[in-house]
Amino acid sequence: MDNISKIASIEPFIIFNKIDLLQNSSFLEDQKVYERIGIKTFQISAKFFTNVDELKKYLSKKTTIFVGNSGSGKSTLTSAITGKEILSKALSNNQGVHTTSVSTLYHSGEMKIIDSPGVRDIGIDHLKPKEIILGFPEIINYSLNCTFPNCSHQADEGCEVMTALKNGDIEESRYNNFIFLSNQEKTK
């Protein structure tokens, strides 16, 4: 994600919203995974304005789009940041209170926020296998030291990615996602 976004001049960040609903802090491990690879994260409760000011400072003088699942609180967060009441259609499947059906640009001072409809998947059909690895900068770094240039980073001899995975230098969840996406691309 990080390298792909850099190519597109996009600065990614992750918002852990609805922290007020969490019974435990299990999301903290996920947060650490992304912080270790240099992606900024925020813990937010848009409903109760928890840490919203910190996010507003970060978004100042930027144009930002909120992307996430339906019911994840993107519109509530946009409303908390902009101070504008955002109306959307009610949901009936317990995903959230409302759902957004079109992307809308909101201006708030020197900040622009695009509230987008929920997504299920982000298509990567257009990416070639060599481009998929761009979403995994930690894997790229180790792959440069593999013995063979055509290394699949699975069971290949001399694979530095596998060595880094075994040593705990690459998160297993990130590696599994990389392999899943790479293999999915090969089956097309």
Domain with CATH 1.10.40.50 in the chain: 129-186
Domain with CATH 3.40.50.300 in the chain: 2-115
State pLDDT tens for residues 25-60: 778 888 999 999 889 999 999 999 999 999 999 999
Q: Which residue has the tokens 């290394």?
A: 151
Question: Does the domain spanning 2-115 belong to CATH 3.40.50.10260?
Answer: no
18 alpha carbon, distance to own chain's centre: 16
Architecture of the 129-186 domain: Orthogonal Bundle (1.10)
Strands 40-43 and 89-90: unpaired
Q: What is the pTM assigned to this prediction?
A: 0.77
State pLDDT tens for residues 7-28: 678 889 999 999 988 877 778 8
Could you give the count of Cα atoms lying within 13 Å of 135 in the half-sphere of its Cβ? 17
d(CA 115, CA 63): 11
